[in-house]
Amino acid sequence: MIICGFDPGLRQTGYGIISVDEDDAIKLIEAGVLRADPHAPLAIRLAELAAGVDEVLDEHDVGLVAVEQIYSHYQRPRTAILMAHARGVILLEAARQNINVVHLPATTIKKHVTGNGRATKEQMQRAVCQALSLRRLPEPPDVADALAVAMCASAVSRRPAKLAANNDDLLTA
């Protein structure tokens, strides 16, 4: 199975594509960032992001898209709102290509990859680097985060009882 994980953002969206074989071995296929013009109007930035997501999904035979759930820190509600725009574009493009989506909480992703649900960006980068046997840390941190999302989705998708994480009804709490 090929899984594409996304770390949504309006300035840059990290993506990571992995393959998982029947022995559950994970292999990195591609990772990077999709950038939008930070000075463009919101609608244009979303269109640029949509084109990039579409291109990434088109280029690979993605069987599952994984994306971090929205969270909001009380001191930064604007960040959650902006992330929601980018996340919506990713969900739209996955739906257009008939690809199932898994929604994962940030703490679940961090705990799966590092063992600590409150891991730092650097801890995430190091854990992803080690898990995928990379020669250097994934840069920028959005790439490591996207790969972590994909890796966590791989584990969740192998455990049917945990697939409730992709149930959209759970997102309307």
- Give catalytic residue positions: 7, 68, 142
Give the Cα separation of 3 and 75 in Å (integer). 33
Return d(Cα 14, Cα 2) in angstroms, integer: 17
Token pair of 63, please? 């069987």
- Give, to the nearest 10 degrees, the angle between helix 42-59 and helix 77-96: 40
C-alpha–C-alpha distance, residues 50 and 73, integer Å? 26
Question: HSE (CB half, 13 Å, CA atoms) of 50?
Answer: 15
Provide the residue type at 158 as one letter: R
